[in-house]
Structure 1
Amino acid sequence: MRLMNGPAARVVGSAVSWLLFTTSFTLLYLSAAVVMGLGGFCARGGPYVIETECPDSVVLFTPLSIFAMLIAVAIGVFLARGFGTPLVIWGWPILFVGLGIDFLLASFMPGGVSNLIVAIVFIIMGIVPLVIVLRVGAARLLIGTTNVRDRPFRDGRGPTPIFQLGGRSQDGDAAPATAGDWALALGVSVPSILVGLWLAQTMFHSVAGAR
């Protein structure tokens, strides 16, 4: 149990959560874009004649990506435990703003008024919660609430243990974030995001081109 609460577990938790989430969200985004291009609706199977059949990539990745994103957030909460770029904060805005952009692009197609309305609603749903949590400080949205050794960060307002699980929050333990803390936190999340983007596109186009 102590191993699961150590520095290595926090680094792995942050990296895996962002890798899995980015891969899953990108697969969902690409699947949604395909459906939008098909007119906003497709289906597969069933006893009825299907006018627009869903591609294999959409059928495979849409349900899997949704469950995988939930798992990714759970990994970030229970393993990263306050270290690194907090997926628990960013997951919701990325999901809704990202899908909102999908609908916004589809609104330029014929009959896209309904897509425009959905786009506006989704983007608002994604941005408003992010604006609300900005009170914890921009730094906490990028590097989390603790360093890799579970020491809480202190800024001008004191420690900010919000969205932290299992870490210490005593005032005496808190310390300002160092350049090394920034480098490690972003050095874990940013490469994981980039690899996730590449991996998702490779997987999606591999399945899409296999048929």
Structure 2
Amino acid sequence: MSAPRPAEIRRPPVLRVSVLVLCLVMLGLAVAWLYFPMRAVMDVGGSCAEGGPYVIETHCPAGSTTFLMLGVPLWFAGVFIGLIASTLSAPLPIFPGWALLFGALGWNFFDYALHAEPGGGIVVDWLVCAIVFWLMALPALAIFLGGPFFRRTVSGSPGSGFGWIGAYVALLGLGWWLGSLSLHAWT
């Protein structure tokens, strides 16, 4: 009888890696599609409307409604499809996606809380929103930073260590960049 061998090194399936890559790019794209239109809406006072039988006081900036409506389902699709694809010993994409979404939108509120008043005052309502959004991002950030990303390996399988961090950041950044380009080309 032969001695037990260490687990064979398995390469992740190409299809699941490809789907995970696509999902992370989608997450970055979706957050950009939510971040920039949110800023445009905040530029017109924080609320706007389009269509319907009502008298509209403030119309939404061009393209903001479309991108906001596309960004939310795209984010959820990226997260949930990515959860299935990440079974290849990759970290779950929901945590960096969640932290990026609420952290970025919280930044919008914080920035506008400090810079929206012409006299230099602080808009307390938007500051409260910034704090609430950052508190919503905090659990995901804690899991992201204190969880599998900072262990030597994500799972017992070889090659599942720190390399994922750079890959996730690069792919989320690529998605953000593509989202920014597509949004600015559209509007």
Distance in 1 (CA, whole Å) between partners of 2:99 and 2:129 is 15
Q: Deviations over 1:95-139 (max 9, x none)?
A: 111111000111121372100011011111111343256553443
Distance in 1 (CA, whole Å) between partners of 2:136 and 2:186 is 31
* 76, 80, 83: which one aligns with 1:74: 80
Report if the CA contact (8 A) 1:76-1:87 is conserved. Answer: yes
TM-score (norm 1): 0.71
Report the AA paired with residue 132 of structure 2: V
Report the AA paired with residue 196 of structure 1: G
Ranges of 4+ aligned residues in structure 1 off by more than 4 Å: 132-135
* 1:182 CA displacement: 4.2
Report the AA paired with residue 120 of structure 1: I
Between 1:108-117 and 1:39-48, the stretch displaced more is 108-117
Q: Is the alpha carbon distance of 1:144 and 1:120 closer, same or farther for their aligned partners in structure 2, counting shifts above 3 Å?
A: farther
Matched residue SS, 1:40? coil
Report if the CA contact (8 A) 2:32-2:179 is conserved. Answer: yes
Q: Is the alpha carbon distance of 1:114 and 1:82 closer, same or farther for their aligned partners in structure 2, counting shifts above 3 Å?
A: farther
* 126, 129, 133: which one aligns with 1:122: 133
1:68-107 alignment, distance < 5 Å: 68-107=74-113
Q: Deviations over 1:15-61 (max 9, x none)?
A: 11110010011110001111111110111011222121112311111
Q: CA RMSD in A?
A: 2.6
Distance in 2 (CA, whole Å) between partners of 1:190 and 1:77 is 17
Q: Which runs of 5+ in 2 are unaligned?
A: 1-11
User: Is residue 11 from structure 1 mapped to residue 17 from structure 2 by the alignment?
Assistant: yes
Report the AA paired with residue 98 of structure 1: A
Q: Which runs of 5+ in 1 are unaligned?
A: 1-5, 146-151, 154-173
Q: Which residue of 2 aligns with 1:194?
A: 173
Report if the CA contact (8 A) 2:96-2:144 is conserved. Answer: no
Q: Which residue of 1 aligns with 2:4?
A: none
* 1:194 CA displacement: 2.9
Matched residue SS, 1:81? helix
Report if the CA contact (8 A) 2:153-2:162 is conserved. Answer: no
Q: Is the alpha carbon distance of 1:182 and 1:10 closer, same or farther for their aligned partners in structure 2, counting shifts above 3 Å?
A: farther
Distance in 1 (CA, whole Å) between partners of 2:153 and 2:37 is 31
Q: Is the alpha carbon distance of 1:101 and 1:130 closer, same or farther for their aligned partners in structure 2, counting shifts above 3 Å?
A: same
